[in-house]
Amino acid sequence: NAGVTQTPKFHILKIGQSMTLQCTQDMNHNYMYWYRQDPGMGLKLIYYSVGAGITDKGEVPNGYNVSRSTTEDFPLRLELAAPSQTSVYFCASTQVTGELFFGEGSRLTVL
Amino acid sequence: EDQVTQSPEALRLQEGESSSLNCSYTVSGLRGLFWYRQDPGKGPEFLFTLYSAGEEKEKERLKATLTKKESFLHITAPKPEDSATYLCAVQARGTGNQFYFGTGTSLTVIP
């Protein structure tokens, strides 16, 4: 069972460029989340989704967009990348309420 | 505002030296408190869920407890392989299934 799969694992982006971080899960979970993790700052929620077609903002949504066209996929779009978006991004999923299953992370550097 | 605070930020233990990690929280109606373990370069991995004050959960050398204001993760006779960052998260009622994370405790167990 693959669980939560994130791609790419590493990426370097130039200021002003855009890119999409991919996330897919094979556990048929309704709830999916995008977090960013910065040193000493813990995990901050960017966006989340409670099901296909439904998304909502978390604590730090500025500069990001998401879509949820299927239960399995929850891509995170970065528009006009800025150095402040250098971080490790984690996608996670869960069923109703309960433990989160995390991907391995996507390490993004904006130069 | 819902908050989660973990202490200490870092902890160094000799192998076999028991200790406790703290997670204090202020949420308006706790739905669940979660403990995760995170190894370097990896996504967090679920350990425990606690739902109500007085509840305890155990797994090998780890034991999690919950009161109305805080949770403790007790580590008994730790081994070097217990070295990791331990994250605490809470889920509050009425927050649309959002999870709020603390900044973590980095544990190092010295042989």
- Intra-chain end-to-end CA distance of chain B, in Å: 41
> What is residue B97's predicted lDDT score, i.e. its pLDDT?
77
- On the question of pLDDT at B2 being above 70, the answer is no
Sort out which chain A residues have CB atoms less than 8 A from B97's CB and list them: 31, 48, 50, 94, 96-97
In angstroms, the Cα distances linking B15 to A78, A82, B8 are 44, 43, 18
CATH class as words, domain A4-110: mainly beta
> What is residue B96's predicted lDDT score, i.e. its pLDDT?
67
Q: What is the pLDDT of residues B15-64, one digit of tens each?
A: 999 999 999 999 888 889 999 999 999 999 999 999 999 999 999 999 99
Selecting from A35, A94, A97 the residue whose C-beta is nearest the C-beta of B31 gives A97
Selecting from A50, A94, A104 the residue whose C-beta is nearest the C-beta of B43 gives A104
What's the residue count for chain A?
Answer: 111
Q: Look at A102 and B44 and tell me if their CB atoms are within 8 Å.
A: yes
> What is residue B94's predicted lDDT score, i.e. its pLDDT?
74
Q: What is the pLDDT of residues B77-95, one digit of tens each?
A: 999 999 999 999 998 877 6
Q: What is the pLDDT of residues A77-98, one digit of tens each?
A: 998 999 999 999 999 999 866 7
- On the question of pLDDT at A11 being above 80, the answer is yes
Mean pLDDT, residues A4-26: 97
- The whole-angstrom separation of Cα B103 and Cα B86 is 9
Selecting from A44, A99, A103 the residue whose C-beta is nearest the C-beta of B46 gives A99
Mean pLDDT of chain B: 93
Q: Look at B91 and A97 and tell me if their CB atoms are within 8 Å.
A: yes
- Intra-chain end-to-end CA distance of chain A, in Å: 36
Sort out which chain B residues have CB atoms less than 8 A from A27's CB and list them: none
CATH class as words, domain B3-110: mainly beta
> What is residue B21's predicted lDDT score, i.e. its pLDDT?
98
* Under 8 Å between Cβ of A88 and A107: yes
Residue of chain B minimizing CA distance to A98 = B49
Q: What is the pLDDT of residues A43-85, one digit of tens each?
A: 999 999 999 999 999 999 999 999 999 999 999 999 899 999 9
Sort out which chain B residues have CB atoms less than 8 A from A48's CB and list them: 96-98
What's the residue count for chain B?
Answer: 111
Where do the domains of chain A lie? 4-110
Q: Nearest-CA distance from B90 to chain A in Å?
A: 11
> What is residue A23's predicted lDDT score, i.e. its pLDDT?
98
Measured over the CA atoms of residue A29, residue A31, residue A104 and residue B63, the dihedral's sign is negative
